[in-house]
């Protein structure tokens, strides 16, 4: 999650880029920042929360089952 200051920087930077590159007037630029929880976003057939969850590690000293 971005902080308020980080979001303000993003808005300022994107606005400036549109002014410089497309000749837009700053007052005509509207930016919406929507942060989506990884529990509400999926890719490749699974939720990002599940994909990015820590996976159980195998104990290097464990004796393999036979």
Residue 26 in 3-state DSSP?
Answer: helix
Count the domains in the chain.
1
- Domain membership flag for residue 61: no
Q: Is the pTM of this model over 0.75?
A: no
Domain range for residue 28?
4-51
Residue 41 belongs to some domain of the structure: yes
**Domain of 42: which CATH number?**
3.30.429
Residue 47 in domain: yes
- List, for residues 6-57, the tens digit of each pLDDT value: 999 999 999 999 999 999 999 999 999 999 999 999 999 999 999 988 888 8
Q: Is residue 60 part of a domain?
A: no
Domain membership of residue 64 (yes or no) is: no
29 contacts 21 by C-beta, under 8 angstroms: no
């Amino acid at each position: 999650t971005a902080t308020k200051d980080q979001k303000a920087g993003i808005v300022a930077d994107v606005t400036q880029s549109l002014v410089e590159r497309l000749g837009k007037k700053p007052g005509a630029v509207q930016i919406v920042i929507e942060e989506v929880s990884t529990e509400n976003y999926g890719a490749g057939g699974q939720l990002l929360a599940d994909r990015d969850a820590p996976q159980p590690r195998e104990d290097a000293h464990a004796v393999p089952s036979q």
